A and B are shown apart, each in its own frame.
Chain A
Amino acid sequence: MLEIIWFILWTLLWAVYFVLDGFDLGIGSLMPFLAGNEEQKRLMYNAAGPFWDGNEVWLISAGGITFAAFPKVYAVMFSALYAPLLLLLFCLILRATSYEFRSKVESAAWRKSWDCVHFIVNILACVVLGVFFANLFMGIPVDANGVYQGNLLKLFNVYGIAGGIFFTLIFMMHGAIWLTIKTRGPLQAKAFLAAGMLWVGVAAMLIIFLILTLFYTNIYSNYLRMPWLVALPLLAVFGLACIPRLLNENRPLMAWLSSALFIVCTTFFGVMGIYPNMIISSIDPKGTITAFNGCSTPMTLEIMLIVALVMVPIVLLYQFWMYRLFYKPVSVEDLNSDHAY
Chain B
Amino acid sequence: MDVVMLSRLQFAVTIFFHFIFVPLTLGLSIIIAWMETRYVMSGDEFWKRQAQFWGKLFIINFTLGVVTGITQEFQFGTNWSKYSEYVGDIFGSLLAIEATVAFFLESTFIAVWHFGWHRVGPKLHCLCIWLVAIAGNISALWIIIANGFMQHPVGYVIDEAQGRAVLSNFYDVVFNGFAWGQYAHTILGSWALAGFFVLGVSAWHLLRKSDVDFFHRAFRMVAPFTLVLCLVLAISGDEQGKSVAEHQPVKLAAMEAHWHTGKNVPFYLFVIPDPANERNSVEFLGIPSLLSWISYGSADAEVKGLLDYPPTDRPPVSEVFWNFRGMVALGVIFIALSLWATWQRKKEEQNPWLLKCLVWNVPLPYIALMLGWAVAEIGRQPWIVYNLMRTSDAVSPIPTSSVGLSLIAFTILYTVLGVLDIYLLAKYALAGPKAQEA
Contact = CB atoms under 8 A, between A and B. Distances in A.
A50 B409 CA distance: 29
Nearest to B131: A318
A325 B96 contact: no
Given A57-B107, A90-B409, A85 B74 contact: yes
B68 interface: yes
Interface string B103-143: 11101111110111111100000000000000000000000
A68 B146 CA distance: 12
Interface stretch (A97-105, A234-242, A258-266): A97-105
A53 B78 contact: no
B19 to A, nearest CB: 16
A74 interface: yes
Interface in B59-74: 59-60, 63-64, 66-71, 73-74
Contacts of B101: 307, 311
Interface string A313-341: 00100110010011000000000011110
Nearest to A145: B397
A82 B407 CA distance: 12
Contacts of B68: 93
B170 interface: yes
Given A75-B82, A300-B167, A86 B409 contact: yes
Interface string A57-81: 1011101111111011011111100
A339 B424 contact: no
A60 B67 CA distance: 10
B428 to A, nearest CB: 8
B95 A67 contact: yes
A61 B99 contact: yes
A75 B81 contact: yes
Interface string B413-428: 1000100110010011
Contact of A101 (B92, B99, B424): B424
B402 interface: yes
B391 interface: no
B85 A96 contact: no
A339 B115 contact: yes
A104 B81 CA distance: 39
Nearest to A296: B89
Nearest to B87: A71
B72 to A, nearest CB: 10
Contacts of A100: 59-60, 63
A54 B409 contact: no
Contacts of B117: 337, 339
Given A61-B96, A93-B413, A75 B88 contact: yes
A23 to B, nearest CB: 15
A79 B63 contact: no
B116 A325 contact: yes
Contact of B77 (A74, A148, A296): A74
A83 to B, nearest CB: 7
A325 B77 contact: no
A64 B81 contact: no
Given A53-B66, A61-B100, A297-B167, A78 B108 contact: no
Contacts of A318: 104-105, 108-109
A56 interface: yes
Contact of A79 (B77, B103, B159): B77
A292 to B, nearest CB: 13
Contacts of B64: 96-97
Given A63-B73, A90-B413, A300-B93, A146 B81 contact: yes
A299 interface: yes
B424 A337 contact: no
A51 interface: yes
A18 to B, nearest CB: 17
Contacts of A68: 88, 92-93, 95-97
A210 interface: no
A300 B398 contact: no
A304 interface: yes
B84 interface: yes
B107 A54 contact: yes
B81 A57 contact: no
Contacts of A101: 420-421, 424
Interface in A143-185: 145-148
A89 interface: yes
Interface string B4-20: 00000000000000000
Nearest to B159: A297
A97 B100 contact: no
Given A299-B167, A318-B108, A319-B108, A67 B96 contact: yes
B243 interface: no
Given A50-B112, A61-B99, A78-B74, A96 B104 contact: no
A87 to B, nearest CB: 9
Given A57-B99, A90-B413, A93-B417, 15 more contacts: A54-B107, A68-B96, A74-B84, A74-B92, A78-B84, A79-B398, A82-B78, A82-B396, A83-B402, A297-B159, A297-B167, A300-B93, A300-B167, A308-B100, A326-B111
9 A-B pairs with the lowest CB-CB distances in the bound complex, closest first: A71-B88, A78-B77, A67-B92, A64-B96, A75-B81, A68-B92, A68-B96, A79-B81, A79-B396
30 contacts: A54-B107, A57-B103, A59-B70, A63-B74, A64-B95, A66-B77, A67-B76, A67-B84, A68-B97, A75-B77, A89-B70, A89-B74, A92-B67, A93-B71, A96-B63, A100-B60, A101-B420, A146-B85, A297-B159, A297-B166, A297-B167, A300-B89, A300-B90, A300-B93, A304-B96, A307-B93, A315-B108, A325-B119, A339-B117, A340-B115
